[in-house]
Amino acid sequence: MSRFMNTLLVAAAASLVLSGVTGVARAESGGSSPPIEASLMGGIQVLNQNDTAVPDRFLNVPLVASVAYRLTSMWAVEGEFTWMIPVKQSVDVGSGAKQDMKSSDVLAYQVGARASFPLTTWTPYLAAGLGAATFLSNTDADRVPQLSKSQTAFAINFGGGASYGVAAHWGLRADVRELVAFPSNDAQGLSSGGNADPIWMERATLGIDYRF
């Protein structure tokens, strides 16, 4: 129960912060309708080794779709969906010998804030958010961990990136993000002995964006 309450408190605090940012930004922009920005990106994502779910480092391919609502030239709120596609690779699963294995498919859904710093030709930014990550069920022999049912965990993300405009509405976008999932201590396949370690996942992506 305490873990659940902590999650609720974090989510509530983040909602208040985002609400405050939205209110300030609206005041700065004079209430005008801000543009919408949609992005599609792909790249590399790493699931780091931990003691309770992931015995070795796994390299996956993320597909990322996001929509941002720009409040001012600096602030935006952004919703993001990521599908982490597992790639089979030779890993150490604890037996001392390498085996060809792959991790679970992972879906992540996040909402957060983005602070941009527009320059002459490009715009760097910092971003952070929260949401959830779902490790999809799969009991194939080459999967680590093997999950008889999907497991969803509270997750956060933080990082930054940059966008570069190439046309009136089109641009290129590069993003580097850390995603951290916090499985519950009784999550089947993601916990051991009544304990679950956070799962850290670094992501680097490159793609396109379109501003409406």
Q: Is the pLDDT of residue 168 over 80?
A: yes
Q: Output the CA angle 171-155-128, nearest 5 degrees.
A: 40
Read off the pLDDT of each residue in 128-156 and give the average, rounded to a whole number. 97
More confident residue, 94 or 63: 63
Domains of the chain plus CATH, in order, are 2-211 (2.40.160.20)
Q: Given this model, what pLDDT does residue 96 score? A: 72
Q: Is the pLDDT of residue 108 over 50?
A: yes
Q: Is the pLDDT of residue 5 over 90?
A: no
> 36-45, 60-69, 90-99, 197-206: which range is least confident on average?
90-99
pLDDT tens per residue, range 67-87: 999 999 899 999 999 999 999
Of the pLDDT bands very low, low, confident and very high (cuts 50, 70, 90), residue 29 is: very low
Cβ pair 101, 109 in contact under 8 A:
no
**Rounded percentage of the chain residues whose pLDDT exceeds 90:** 77
Q: Is the pLDDT of residue 37 over 60?
A: yes
Q: Given this model, what pLDDT does residue 51 score? A: 93
Read off the pLDDT of each residue in 103-114 and give the average, rounded to a whole number. 97
**3-class secondary-structure state, position 184:** coil
Dist. CA 31–CA 47, nearest whole Å: 42
- CB atoms near residue 61 (< 10 Å): 14
Read off the pLDDT of each residue in 173-197 and give the average, rounded to a whole number. 96
Instruction: State the average pLDDT for the chain.
Output: 87
Q: Given this model, what pLDDT does residue 93 score? A: 80
Q: What is the DSSP string of 29-62?
A: HTTPPPPEEEEEEEEEEEE---SSS-SS-EEEEE
Q: Given this model, what pLDDT does residue 94 score? A: 75
Q: Is the pLDDT of residue 14 over 70?
A: no
Q: Given this model, what pLDDT does residue 203 score? A: 98
Of the pLDDT bands very low, low, confident and very high (cuts 50, 70, 90), residue 55 is: very high
Q: Given this model, what pLDDT does residue 97 score? A: 79
Tokens matching residue 70: 């720009």
Read off the pLDDT of each residue in 118-142 and give the average, rounded to a whole number. 96
The conformational region for residue 30 under phi > 0 = left, psi -120 to 50 = alpha, else beta, is: left
